[in-house]
Structure 1
Amino acid sequence: MLPVAQICPQLVQSLKQHNKVILSAPPGAGKSTYLPLFLLNHADFAGKTILLLEPRRLAAKSIASYLASQLNEAVGQQVGYQIRHEKSYSKNTRLLIVTEGVLIRKIQQDPQLTGIDLIIFDEFHERSVQADLALALVLEVQQLNSDLQLLIMSATLDQHKLALALDAPVLSSEGRSYPVEILYQALTAEPIWLQSARLSLQASLKHQGSILTFLPGQRDINQARDWLLEHNKDSRLDIYALSGALTLAEQQQAIAPSPQGLRKLVLTTNIAETSLTIEGIEVVVDSGLCRQAVYHPKHGLTRLETVAISQAAAVQRAGRAGRLSAGICYRLDSAELWQRRAAFTPAAVLQSDLTALLLDISAWGCSADQLFWLDQPPQANLKSAAWVLLQLKAINDKGQITEFGRQLLATGTEPRLAALVLHGKELEQQGEQGAAWLAVVLATLLENPNRSREQDIDQVLQQPLYGALLLQAKQLAQQNQIQVSNYLPQHLTAALLSRAFPDRIALQRGKGYLLTNSAGALLFPDSPLVGAEVLVICDLYFGQSTQVSLAARWTMAELMQEWRADLQQQSYVGFDAQQGRFIAEQRLMLGCCVLERKPLNTKLTETEQQQAWLDWLKQQGLQALPWTEQALQLRHRLQLMQRLMPEHQLAKVDDEALWADAEVWLAPALGRFTKLNDLNKLDLYTLLWQRLSYKEQQLLTSCMPDSWRSAVGSMIPVHYSDEGEAILSVRIQEMFGQLETPAVANGRLAMKIHLLSPARRPLQVTQDLASFWATSYAEVKKEMKGRYPKHYWPDNPAQAMPTNKTKKAMQK
């Protein structure tokens, strides 16, 4: 009996008392293979329907097959599944295994999930964006359907955090796994795929069982497989790949038991960390790396980055070797470095493109901040997602979903690519033969990593789709009633792509390109796209500079024709630093790109000149203003007072605050200037000082003085550093008899005293004068008395009279 069986009665009881329950169960406990059938057959769930969520299509289909076999039934009877583009269930199905995206679609179609009694989240620790959204929506559904129950299962999640957030009880089950010996292998200079492949082959000679090798991504798998096929001499060892890029049939072949007398070496990504059990695995080789999607809001692009996996993921990987017997795990790491890894894998919602998520939220009829989140989605990513959806016309300026947005949701792919597919169908209906199928092909290519090195997408299209990509394209076409075509009208490629990437239409500018989203990009030196007037950019490479890695070439005439209904006329007044003068012109705009410009023969008003200066300065930054030392000192004083004495709420002087009211304090002083050199006439100190009220000026003068009067009457400047220090540089003789260190902010910050020699050379730095007199002064006196014999060097400086004179002058 599997370990989870011991806790099943307690789980049923908890579900009677709570509508949300968390189950912590390590790999091998039976939470995916035993628990669902136990609940299905329990009297409390007689006649009820259960949805079991799996994070991956392969896991959903495999688990459905296994559970159905336990009932001696075919899939589609009591146990069924529904994944993207494929389903098998009937009116008799009471346990339906689905992926998270399928559940989200079901909730959007039926907000009460009528007929569903229990939803089980399996492997929730993976924390995909769709899993977090599905949980948020299920919690919403529970408010409409109080009978709906929720069970969240995980092997490595931070259970305490989830339990507190959901106010749900946590039940824990023991796992069933065999001991796994961990062996660390130091990394070498070899590529990670080669070192992993070599280690895997060596392991196959030492051990009798099958081997599971974890690599970061598809390219690593392909390279390792090619190397192993060449170097493996064991005819009884089969080499398989297992990744999301394969068809389900190819994936199932990789996890199926080996025939009698054979064993396998499976090269995989993190797809095999959980949910799947591959028969006969006794050895795991763990590269310690994975490919992680990281979103860059500025460019609206997701990059797959190779990163170190967390300790929790590493434990899951090692556990694959101990599911059926004792095993071995080789980690390409050291024990010391492994301890420094992050404990858990960060939630995908923290670093992903949230465009699809936000469209789903808009379809639900609320905003992101109205939903439950275990980790709040970053505002920068949400803002970027909203901007993209506005460009696609999927939402309006209030964030509400449009009819076109609902059409995008029904397409079966992410919003950008859905817009591409719908535009292809529209062109097909207008008589452009093959346009819809071309759109499907483009969407399929872009949804999968670009494995070719081509930078011109028209060259990528020369290579026919095959295998998993062809199957995926046909499934997408079938869902959208699109006919497969032998003809690809490639003259429409850029126009179609522009509907998916309106923010990445790029015009030639100097040596590079300006995108409609205001970002800039360069071509690689050997790019076949050199000379293109216009590009539609699909992908960018982020290195020392941003470079175009995949795009379609276009012409200005074609752009103007395709987007004529969306072009905006704009009157522009600005300062041109290169020409050194103000310009006024009528512009035809697409996003931030100027397609046409015509000069306006009008004289600028003073107000227009002020605004033109402000616009130019915002591009350059406040550093373009003539910051004198006096002006900088005033700014530092204000910033320090805001930090030390926030109760006075003085006017802020950070960049954001200064720009917020620049039209009030700065613009009036700019109106009379016509040349760039005129800016040097600005008296920034006076402008900033006048920005303060009389009360604020008095407070600042009192609490953060710009000078300090010594005991002999000297007014000594106080220097305020950008690190938040108040510095007083003073000759040591003027501080004799001073036990208390001068301070600012009503005594909250002691000044840093730079004690100087009679020749104003540095002697000592202190923030505690009394301590200095009592300790370090004797050494200073010993050295300085011989160097400056005409000056006063008392034995007891703490009680001596301060002076700024020589000994002779003091006697007069």
Structure 2
Amino acid sequence: MGPYNDRDKRDEKTGLTSLNYTTERHGEKRMNELPIQKVLPELKEKLRTATSAVLVAEPGAGKTTQVPPAFLEEDWLSGRKIIMLEPRRLAARAAAEYMAGNLGEQTGETVGYRVRMESRTGKKTKIEVVTEGILTRMLQSDPELADVGMIIFDEFHERNLQGDLGLALALESRAVLREDLRILVMSATLEAEPVAALLGDAAVVNCPGRQFPVETVYKPPAAGIKPEQHMAAVIREAAADHPGDVLAFLPGAGEIRKVQAELERGGIPAGCVIRPLYGQLPQQEQDAAVRPDPASRRKWILATSIAETSLTIDGVRIVVDSGLMRTQLFSARTGMPYLATGQVSRASADQRRGRAGRTAPGVAYRLWSREAQDHLRERNAPEILETDLAPLVLELTTWGVRDADKLLWLDPPPAQAYERGRELLQRLGAVTKDGMITDKGKRMAELGMHPRLAVMMLQAAYLGHGRLGSTLAAVLQERDLFRGAERDADIRSRAQAVCMWEQGGAVRDADESALKRIAQESKHIRKQTGIAASEKVDLEKCGLLLSFAYPDRIGQNRGNGKFLLTSGRGVELPGAQLLSRSAYITAAAVDDRKGAEGKILLAAPLNLEDIQRYHGDEIVDDTVVEWDRTLGSVKARKQTSLGAVILRESPAEQPSPERVVLALLEGIRTEGLGILPWTKHAKQLRQRLQMMHHADPEWPDMKDAALLGSLEEWLLPYLYGAKSRTDLQKLQLAAILEQTLGWDKKTRLDEEAPTHITVPSGSRIIVDYSNPMQPVLAVKLQEMFGLRETPRIGRGRIPLTLHLLSPAQRPVQITSDLASFWANGYFDVKKDLKGRYPKHYWPDDPLEAIPTRRTRPQT
């Protein structure tokens, strides 16, 4: 059996396949060379003569663990450190542990790592594997990076926001302060050319991977089967038909729990064990999924995309891919982030498939069809294009950049999302109106958390509620402690549960692993901000502290569990609960994916006194003059408001006539033109003018949109003194519309679009202009005797459409060609009408007959 199939060759500490190991054979020591070893001389040579390079190394090449140590002895490093960025904590720890093991050391000696809340480095550390946010903090505190000689961006194809930011800042640092700083971008699936161009036409080094054959099986679910049932069934089938451990990809922890429950319900075969793997799991449980099972059982690993790249989990020969992933998106409509589950890209699907062939031949089951595979998008969208950019804006403003376009980006931050982020930071007091960082903003940036949570922590510490603030910040960065559909949205119960757990008490219906993580995060935040663990906690201040983080989500009760936020957004509680009675709340988490009303996930009550005391700078007193649809009148009120929330209201004194008129105009726009008194005369005048506009655009447009859009020009002067629907009925619209015309146009209007036409009988018949393209003259047939041609208007350009009527005033013929009717149609009409109306006049020759409005002409 070859070394890649030998499960006993795994590193006992990390559980990762030994990517560069020695074996004894006939007393000889030989190196089992990885593919990356063949290109390392070329890569090292490129970076001796240049400061940038791009390494595209296929899965299994060994880039993550072999590249950093290869540069330790380079002269240009001059004893300085190598920093390598990994997108995920698990991969960062595993890579550092593996490299240290290769050197026969513990982590924290030559090789160390730094991730949030955990650091294993020492004075001798020359290679630091860090998560991306750590690099940002390093650059902000020391832009020169005096003790760093090289930065490696690993798995850059994932295009995380912090990765893009870290690269932009590193390139700026090199351009301004450190021209000798080496930057290496590495990936398995990266499009190298754009990155190489961004780095200044950097050299690209390609390295093939070491990938064993992987069979691909498409298994779309049958109609009616639940996703967790289908996933569990395929895992069982695959494990029965193929050797090795199973790695199943699911979008999130919730789906992992459902599949685990489904598998356990059907019974786990002897010699097998289920191992969940996702970011929020305690390190011990993550290690259990990655490392060999102590009892040598086959592992069924249920993982999120955390296992998609970087890690090689020895023993995995079966992949079952749901084809789904979860990402955080940002709603430009509401200004709120939300989690969305969607299809993976083709690149991600291939990465997942490749997990089955890292150490031996394998098989990948895809839970979708071949046809669906053809419609997958090529790559995942970069996070910078889809997420909340407030953290990015804060980092760039702290860096001293007001315009993001001043830095180098693969994908520049979208202007609209960037501006929204800036507006939020201005509201939080982190950035001035001209884009400069404030002292408060600098302190927020140092905390390394989302600006909303950072400002909450600063305010909480100032008010003596730092411990409660740290608990809330930790709760909001973790999935919900409580499970099940019956949980309420009151965040106070979560904060109370954490406090009880920290004091050693039992917490019913809570996820203990989540409690532990929240307590650790809260402790880390307290350490950052110097808050004593013994500080008392007042749970009734939850709403106040949250209001500092979410001033745009202070909500006022509208009844039935619905609230109006200061942002103007409507939200509601999922079912009746105690929070439904609160006059005011702060909504910390809102699901905005469906419906007109967002669903409140986490909130706390807030009292009016605290709103007035702590948000007084944003409270505005104003006299509001506006149209009230219920009253059908302009209404004036004194209002005290916080954003869209009206805190207090009372009647106002008589407002100025100008404000009343403007409110009345808005009322007309709201109600539509139908609120105005359109008499027959006014309506016809409007239609005549529209006919003239159709023939000549210089004439005023009389369509609804045009009239509503120009109310200030033609109607406003006549509204003074009016304020209600009743007052509007006194307007003389025909006279008002005529005032929009000069003397010349009035004359032309009467000539070209007359109100009436005199017909041969002597009658003046009104012209119907309701269709400006086809004016109509409705007239009794007998009144038109003797007229040879169709009457025309518009200086002879427009023939009238004649509705020739029976004695009962019903159309018997519609024509624009009267001569043709007399010659061809009249005799058939005469035959029909003479039988029905024998007393009326039906001459044989209509052109020589006497026109009459009576039954018969008078002689």
- TM class by shorter-chain length? 0.7 to 0.9
Q: Is the 8 A contact 2:468 2:537 kept in 1?
A: yes
What's 1:173 paired with? 207
Structure 2 Cα separation of the partners of residues 719 and 51 of structure 1: 76
Alpha-carbon displacement from aligned partner over 1:89-119 (angstroms, at most 9, x marks no partner): 2333222211111111111112222232221
Structure 2 residue corresponding to 1:154, chosen from 187, 206, 227: 187
| 1:291 lines up with 2:321 in the alignment | no
- CA deviation profile, 1:120-167 (whole Å, cap 9, x unmatched): 111111111111211221221122122222211122233344344555
Where does residue 600 of structure 2 map in the other structure?
Answer: 548
Deviations 1:194-218 (A, max 9, x none): 3212322332222331111111111
Q: Residue 57 of structure 2 aligns with which residue?
A: 25
Change (3 A) 1:533 1:13: same
SS of structure 1 residue aligned to 2:58: coil
Q: Is the 8 A contact 1:580 1:675 kept in 2?
A: yes
Counterparts in 2 of 1:314-463, with a 5 A limit? Answer: 314-365=349-400, 366-428=402-464, 435-450=465-480, 452=482, 453-463=487-497
In the alignment, which residue of structure 2 is the partner of 1:499?
Answer: 548
TM-superposed deviation, 1:486:
8.8
Cα drift, residue 55 of structure 1 = 0.6
Q: Distance in 2 between matches of 1:51 and 1:304?
A: 31
Q: Which residue of 1 aligns with 2:343?
A: 308
Separation in 1, partners of 2:706, 2:104:
68
Bigger shift: residues 30-39 or 314-323: 30-39
- Whether the aligned pair in 1 keeps the contact of 2:389 and 2:418 (CA below 8 Å) is yes
CA distance in structure 2 between the partners assigned to 1:172 and 1:684 by the alignment? 78
Equivalences for 1:402-801 in 2 at 5 Å? 402-428=438-464, 435-450=465-480, 452=482, 453-464=487-498, 466-485=515-534, 488-511=537-560, 512-542=562-592, 543-546=594-597, 547-564=599-616, 566-601=618-653, 603-613=654-664, 620=670, 673-676=722-725
Distance 1:271 1:573 in 2: 56
Conservation of the 8 A alpha-carbon contact between 2:250 and 2:325 = yes
Per-residue CA deviation, residues 226-263 of structure 1 (Å, 9 max, x unaligned), is 33344333342121111111123332232112336322
Residue pair 1:49, 1:117 contacting (<8 A) in 2 also: yes
Aligned length: 712
Q: Does the Cα contact within 8 Å between 2:691 and 2:769 map onto a contact in 1?
A: no
Question: Residues 349-388 of structure 1, C-alpha deviation per residue, up to 9 Å, x if partnerless?
Answer: 1211111111111111222233333223333322322232
Q: Distance in 2 between matches of 1:338 and 1:237?
A: 31
Give unpaired runs (5+ residues) of structure 2. Answer: 1-32, 502-514, 746-766, 777-811, 817-822, 830-844, 850-859
* Residue 185 (1) aligns with residue 219 (2): yes
Mark the CA change 1:585 to 1:233 in structure 2 (over 3 Å): closer, same or farther: closer
CA deviation vs aligned residue, 1:467-524 (integer Å, no higher than 9, x gap): 3222222222222222335953211111111111111011123543211111112233
Q: Deviations over 1:559-608 (max 9, x none)?
A: 3344345433233332322233333333222222111123332x333322
**Cα distance in 2 for residues equivalent to 1:98 and 1:656:** 61
Runs of 4+ in 1 over 4 A off after TM superposition: 164-167, 613-618, 620-639, 653-659, 661-673, 676-693, 715-720, 727-730, 758-762, 785-791, 808-812
- Give the AA of the match of 1:422: L
Letter of the structure 1 residue corresponding to residue 37 of structure 2? A
Cα 1:623–1:555 shift into 2, 3 Å? farther
Residues 632 and 300 of structure 1: is their aligned pair in 2 closer, same or farther, counting only changes over 3 Å? Answer: farther
- SS of the aligned residue for 1:240 comes to strand
CA distance in 2, matches of 1:633, 1:110: 75
Give the 3 Å change call, closer, same or farther, for CA 623–32 of structure 1 in structure 2: farther
TM-score normalised according to structure 1 size? 0.78
What's the secondary structure of 1:32's corresponding residue?
Answer: helix
The structural deviation recorded for 1:786 is 11
In our comparison, the structure showing a higher alpha carbon Rg is: 2
Match of 1:201 among 236, 240, 245: 236
Amino acid corresponding to residue 359 of structure 2 in structure 1? L
CA–CA distance in 2 between the matches of 1:141 and 1:454?
A: 48
Do the aligned partners of residues 654 and 598 (structure 1) sit closer, same or farther apart at CA in structure 2, a change above 3 Å counting? same
Deviations 1:649-697 (A, max 9, x none): x99x9999998x987788656656422476789999999999999xxx9
1:810 positional shift: 11
How many angstroms does 1:719 deviate by? 8.9
* Amino acid of the structure 2 residue aligned with 1:259: P
Identity %: 33
Could you tell me whether the CA contact under 8 Å between 1:157 and 1:344 is conserved in 2? no
CA separation of 1:232 and 1:384: change in aligned 2, threshold 3 A? same
Cα contact 1:75–1:88 (8 A) shared by 2 = yes
Distance 1:246 1:137, change over 3 A: same
> Of the candidates 123, 143, 159, which is equivalent to residue 111 of structure 1?
143
Structure 2 distance, partners of 1:205, 1:492, is 56
> Given the two structures, how large is their TM-score scaled by the length of structure 2?
0.74
Q: In the alignment, which residue of structure 1 is the partner of 2:255?
A: 220
CA RMSD of aligned residues (A): 4.3
Equivalent-residue separation in structure 2 for 1:691 and 1:343 (angstroms): 59
Do the aligned partners of 1:634 and 1:685 also contact (CA within 8 Å) in 2?
no
Q: How far apart, CA to CA, are the structure 2 residues paired with 1:87 and 1:502?
A: 35
Cα deviations by residue, 1:425-458 (Å, 9 ceiling, x for unpaired)? 1222xxxxxx322211111111123353321222
Counterpart residue type for residue 457 of structure 1: I
Contact 2:214 2:361 in 1 (8 A): yes
Distance in 2 between residues matched to 1:217 and 1:656, nearest whole Å: 52
Deviates more, 1:163-172 or 1:5-14: 163-172
Identify which range, 384-393 or 351-360, moves more after superposition. 384-393
1:242 aligns with 2:277: yes
Q: Summarize the Cα distance change of 1:597–1:239 in structure 2 as closer, same or farther, 3 Å threshold.
A: same
Distance 1:32 1:334, change over 3 A: same
The CA distance in 1 between the partners of 2:68 and 2:720, in whole Å, is 74
Consecutive unaligned residues in structure 1, runs of 5 or more: 429-434, 643-647, 698-714, 721-726, 731-757, 763-784, 792-807
Deviations 1:280-305 (A, max 9, x none): 11111100001111112343321111
